């Protein structure tokens, strides 16, 4: 269920998705991203979430700790991928030092 949830301490992406009721059968597990707030003139910070690796393999590489203001986007299968909207660098953006796509884990991204 979409919504806003309080960040108490060390919650991760997995914790946040579970708190929201988990993923639906229509969720595009390989297209989940975490969008982190950035200054208006800064680089967008969009982090890939490799859901299958987190829940099936116990790989915590992309099970990021949630910070205030973070948003997790879980698209539906067949919907337009958010990657093209959120994940490109701003034209005026200098070299970004934060993780951007592609996913750091082999086989995560479609």
Q: What is the pLDDT of residues 73-102, one digit of tens each?
A: 998 887 755 555 554 444 444 444 444 444
* CA–CA gap between residue 20 and residue 32 (Å, rounded): 14
Give the residue, 24 or 95, on which the prediction is more confident: 24
Percentage of the chain exceeding pLDDT 90: 40
Instruction: To the nearest 10°, report the CA torsion of 87, 26, 71, 15.
Output: -130
């Amino acid at each position: 269920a979409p919504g806003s949830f309080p960040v108490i301490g060390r919650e991760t992406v997995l914790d946040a998705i579970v708190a929201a009721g988990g993923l639906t059968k229509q969720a595009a597990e390989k297209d989940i991203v975490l969008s982190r707030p950035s200054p208006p003139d800064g680089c967008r910070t969009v982090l890939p979430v490799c859901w299958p690796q987190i829940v099936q393999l116990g790989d915590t590489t992309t099970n990021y700790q949630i910070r205030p203001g973070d948003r997790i986007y879980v698209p539906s299968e067949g919907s337009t991928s958010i990657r093209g909207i959120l994940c490109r660098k701003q034209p005026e953006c200098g070299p970004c030092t934060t993780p951007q796509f592609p996913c750091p884990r082999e086989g995560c991204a479609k």
